[in-house]
Amino acid sequence: MAEVRQSAGMKPYVVVWIGLILIVAIEVLLTYQHLPAGRLLASLLVLAFLGAGLGVMYFMHLRYERASLFWSLIPYLIFALVMMDHVWPDALRLMHQRLGAGGP
Amino acid sequence: MGESAMTMGARPGALTEQSPYGIESKKLAIWLFIIADAATFGAILFAYGYLRVANPDWTRPFEFWPTIATGIAMTVALLTSSLTMVGAVRSAQAGRKSASVGWLGVTVALGLVFVLLLLLEWSAMIGAGWRLSKNPLGGSVLFGATFFGITGLHLLHVICGVVAIAVIAMGFNRDRLDAGHVETTGLYWHFVNLVQMFVFPLVYLMNVR
């Protein structure tokens, strides 16, 4: 596997680098399209995860490691990030909550 | 990996086991650290998102020039440094020591470009009146806290990475360290750069005026 990677040269990594630069460019372009905040956020997150995935799989070589390493690392992280999403109902509740000027 | 490599440094007769993932222990250790650090950055970015949603008077102060332009330059510098780090690792694995050290030097330089640009940006914002608990535009003071907190944590990681790469480069150049050390340092550096793929859109682009 290492020999295959060496014979491929730097070309695959340059292609990934170009892809990451394009992702950044698309993010900036989307920002100035005056999209609704929710749609902009979703678009930026999708692009960020796409870029991070490319970096992890190619720059960090996870694609060329044993599958057991991938399955031991990534699902835990995704689980942890999904669990953090439990904060949103409370954030939305606070967004709509207004305290009176006198306050309790 | 040959058994001799697995037992390198161990005392004679020491029991060794093959890694379940087929990688060196230090490589597994850095992967575990990266996953933990990714959860840390995830938590701080979620906290930022929570505060942002919960505060309707959130300030969005960033103009394209100079803030977003600087952010683009910083992101491109880090992404390019990841590419040069790949070059360093591949050269090290191929036994081309001087080429690897050269690529590591370029990686350090690009990391320092990022540090310089961020410090210049901080200086401009502090000069405009922004603080951890002060908003010169009158909105939520949490903007300063989250901006300086998130970019500060990332800056700390970048500085530590720059120092680590310089130390590894010197050790590799003097044949005290091997290609595996360059690779593990590279894994950390790529992680730090990929964090910027989230910090830039969430902290910079979502706060464009």
Q: State the pLDDT at residue B16.
A: 60
* Closest to B1 in 3D by CA, of B178, B194, B189: B178
Q: With a cut of 70, say whether residue A101 has pLDDT above it.
A: no
Q: What is the pLDDT of residues A7-45, one digit of tens each?
A: 568 999 999 999 999 999 999 999 999 899 889 999 999
Chain A residues within 8 A of B23 when measuring between CB atoms: 65-66, 69
Question: In this complex, how many residue pairs, one in chain A and one in chain B, have their CB atoms less than 8 Å apart?
Answer: 123
- Do A28 and B53 count as a contact with CB atoms less than 8 A apart? no
Check residue B56 and give its pLDDT: 80
Please report, for chain B, the start and end positions of each structural domain, with discontinuous segments joined by +.
20-207
Reported as a pLDDT band with limits 50, 70 and 90, residue A4 is very low
Report the distance separating Cα B176 and Cα B77, nearest Å. 29
Res. B4: pLDDT tops 60? no
**C-beta neighbour count of A64 within 10 angstroms:** 12
The values of phi and psi at residue B131, to 5°, are -140, 175
* Among A2, A21, A95, beta carbon nearest to B76: A21
Radius of gyration of chain A (CA): 20
Q: How far is A99 from chain B (nearest CA, A)?
A: 13
Is-contact B172 B100, C-beta < 8 A? Answer: yes
Interface test with B, best of A29, A63, A87, A92 (most B CBs within 10 A): A87
- What pLDDT shows up at residue A52? 96
Residues contacting residue B208 through CB under 8 Å, at least 6 positions apart: A31, A32, B60, B62, B63, B64, B68
pLDDT at A1 over 50: no
- Judged against a pLDDT cut of 70, whether residue A2 lies above it is answered with no
Closest CB from B31, B42, B56 relative to A73:
B31
In CATH, the number for domain B20-207 is 1.20.120.80
The CA distance from B49 to B46, in Å, is 5
User: What's the CA angle centered on B82, arms B77 and B85, to 5 degrees?
Assistant: 120
Q: What is the mean pLDDT of residues A72-85?
A: 93
Supply angle C-alpha A53, B189, A63, rounded to 5.
35
Give the N- to C-terminal CA distance of chain A in Å, as an integer: 67
Of B54, B190, B202, the CB nearest to A55: B190
User: Cβ contacts of residue B140 below 8 Å, gap of 6+?
Assistant: B51, B55, B57, B58, B59
Single-letter residue type at B144: G
Contacts of B198 in chain A (CB under 8 A): 48, 52
pLDDT tens sequence across B167-177: 999 999 999 99
Percentage of chain A surpassing pLDDT 90? 69
Q: Is B53 within 8 Å of chain A by CB?
A: yes
ipTM tops 0.90: no
Q: Tell me: the pLDDT tens digits for B83-118?
A: 999 999 999 999 999 999 999 999 999 999 999 999
Tell if the CB–CB gap between A95 and B53 is shorter than 8 Å.
Answer: yes
pLDDT digits (tens, 9 = 90+) for B37-79: 999 999 999 999 999 888 888 899 999 999 999 999 999 999 9
pLDDT at B155 > cutoff 50: yes
- Position A96 scores a pLDDT of 77
Whether chain B has a CB inside 8 Å of the CB on A83: the answer is no
- Inspect the interface and report whether the beta carbons of B201 and A20 lie closer than 8 Å: no
What mean pLDDT, rounded, does chain B reach? 91
Quick check: B3 pLDDT over 80?
Answer: no
